[in-house]
Amino acid sequence: MEVTVLIQATDEAFKIIEEARNRALDVLNTSVKFTAEAKLLEERKIQAIFKGAERTKSEVLSFLATFALLFFPFWMPLSGFFDVFHLSIGVGCCALVAYISHDLLFVNVRVGDMRTIVKRFFTYIPWLIYQIILSNIHVVKIVLSPKMPIDPKIIKFKTKLDSDISLVTFANSITLTPGTITIDIKDGEYYVHAIDEDVAYDLLYGGEMEDRVAHVFMEAEHVYVQDVLDVARIYGALR
């Protein structure tokens, strides 16, 4: 008699333990699923920021951005009058221009990393000026030497940049540097006129300028340490 009671009790105890275990497993599974989904979502967000999928869809936003860019850093210093009459004329003119051409200035802008791009662009400019001084000296040497060791050639090389603005920045940086002139960009290939071998080799095999431009505009294949830190910052801001 006592044995049966004991066996029943143990059975019940086992059942209860089993149920508890199942419940705990359920809870664990759902929580694991939730964290996995959350992780996937966050990864997708970061990917979206990188790929530029989060673009300015809203025309109002681009209108406001164009208006602010036109009015504060351009109209106000240009005008120099800060009375009500001139400021109201300025607001009217900027609103008109922003309305006419709000689709021109901000195309394919990635919202998340605009600030980073601007910051990096302003650190790129001093480096570019330094490069311009260096190649100025190089060209002066060529011009002043009595032999005139020029060897003009047109070189063609493939680029790893892909957005319009980075292609144009790189092309204009090449043109600004003495000794090299960008002739054309066609199908992702640059056609550059170079004054001698050194300059041409720098462009063909050096590629530091291209790397820097890619870094400025956060092109996909150039994830630097700074990029990773920025992603961490954006990720933190999103949370």
Partner 1 sequence: MIITYEDIIIKTLTRVLAPFLQLYALYVLAHGHYSPGGGFQGGVILGASIILMVIAFGLDTARKRLTEKADIVLLCIGLLIYSGVGALCLALGGNFLDYSQLTKILPVTVAKARSLGILFVETGVALGVMAVMVSLFYDISTGGLPPER
User: What is the binding site for partner 1 (CB under 8 A)?
Assistant: 66, 70, 74-75, 78-79, 81, 86, 89-90, 93-94, 96-98, 100-101, 104-105, 107, 164-165, 167-168, 171-172, 182, 184-185
Print burial letters for 136-166: b (CB count within 10 Å at least 16), e (below 16): eebbeebeeeeeeeeeeeeeeeebebebebb
DSSP character at residue 58: -
Residue matched to tokens 């990917």: 47
Closest approach, Cβ 211 to partner 1, in A, equals 20
Give whichever of 54 and 163 is closer to partner 1, judged by the CB atom.
163
Rg of the Cα atoms in the chain: 30
Give whichever of 56 and 79 is closer to partner 1, judged by the CB atom.
79
DSSP character at residue 205: I
Q: What 3-state class would DSSP assign to 78? A: helix
Please state the separation of Cα 110 from the chain's center in Å.
Answer: 7
Closest approach, Cβ 68 to partner 1, in A, equals 12
Closest approach, Cβ 188 to partner 1, in A, equals 10
**Structure-token pair, residue 192:** 């550059």
Closest approach, Cβ 187 to partner 1, in A, equals 10
